Amino acid sequence: MDLDTVKERAGPRQFSPKDDMPKEYREAATRMIQFHANSEVMGGYLEKPFIRQAPSLDRKLAFSAKVQDEIGHAQLLYRAAESLGVKTRDEMLDELAEGKGKFLNCFHYPMDSWYEVPMIGFFVDGAAMRRQATLKSTSWEPYAHAMDKVCFEEGFHVKHGEDMLRELMTSSKANQERTQEAFEMWWPRIIQFFGPVNDQSTHHGFAAEVGLKTKSNDELRQAFLNTYVPKAERYGLEIPDTPEIIYHEDEGRYEVVEEDLDWDQFWTIAKNDYDGSYEQIGSRRDRQEAVAWVREQMDSYETAHTGTAPQAAD
């Protein structure tokens, strides 16, 4: 199929592995889905240490399930990316461990206290739901099918994060103040979750033309602000002065002053060159190396019994 035909036919769940897709489409879709899969893995690793810090058994169980979900989402997405025939799942996992794989800005930052947990569980996951809901209409069918399951489970994650935020903001004054401090630190990062402004986005134009994306970064950021600024205020959080958020009452919408955001830091993160990136990627590499013997044993067993090596388990 040539590229002009792809653009003409582009629509929800239009293409599948049975279609002979052009190289440009396959590479763009692989890059996009691999980025998403990497982000699910790194989000899970960021949150995993807080299973032990959760203040009750119920919270530990719920948080443990959430982390397992995130890693499971990554596996679905790596398979969807693999179906494009550009990279294998193992190659993508190796790139992540080697620091070559890209992932979302929010998962490059360290997370040190329980008060930061709802910043991911409610706000970041809420932002993710904004993006992922649109991807149920992406043109690569395996990706859209994966989104059906991912969005169903992410909905529970957002509710869990909201419940944690509600609990903290209706408890002691000290808890409220610490949660506000965490919010002020994470708020600019959360707004940058959707990526650069439209005219700085490298890949959006092509992705939109071939149906991989259905909403721009600015559209998603706008929808998030309209929903989550009022929610934050309802739970008693004060929106920080920087970046400035302007409310256009006549239009019923919020606008962020983009110049107030640290885009230099964002682009440093995009290159995996932020201080926190090394720690996060190193953690992933250490875990991958720690279970290398399991993969080797599985490969040896499969080869001995069938004569062919399988795709190794993570």
Residue 170 belongs to a domain: yes
Judge residue 269's burial from the number of C-beta atoms within 10 Å of its C-beta, 0-12 exposed, 13-18 middle, 19 or more buried: buried
pLDDT exceeds 90 at position 286: no
Tokens 């807080």 identify what position? 50
Tokens 């036919």 identify what position? 9
Residue 281 belongs to a domain: yes
Can you tell me whether residue 245 is helix, strand or coil? strand
CATH number of the CATH domain containing 192: 1.20.1260.10
Residue 219 half-sphere exposure, CB side, CA atoms within 13 Å?
8
Report the pLDDT averaged over residues 295-311: 77
Residue 313 belongs to a domain: no
Query: Is the Cα dihedral 254, 104, 155, 206 positive or negative?
Result: positive
Residue 308: its pLDDT value, please?
Answer: 61
What are the two backbone dihedrals, phi and then psi, of residue 10, each rounded to the nearest 5 degrees? -50, 130
Judge residue 231's burial from the number of C-beta atoms within 10 Å of its C-beta, 0-12 exposed, 13-18 middle, 19 or more buried: middle
> Any residues with CB less than 8 A from the CB of 180 and at least 6 apart, and which?
237, 238
Domain extent at residue 44: 3-306
Can you tell me whether residue 256 is helix, strand or coil? strand
pLDDT exceeds 50 at position 274: yes
Residue 189 belongs to a domain: yes
Structural domain tally of the chain? 1
- Residues 78-120: tens digit of each pLDDT: 999 999 999 999 999 999 999 999 999 999 999 999 999 999 9
**pTM for the predicted model, two decimal places:** 0.92
pLDDT exceeds 60 at position 205: yes
pLDDT exceeds 60 at position 3: yes
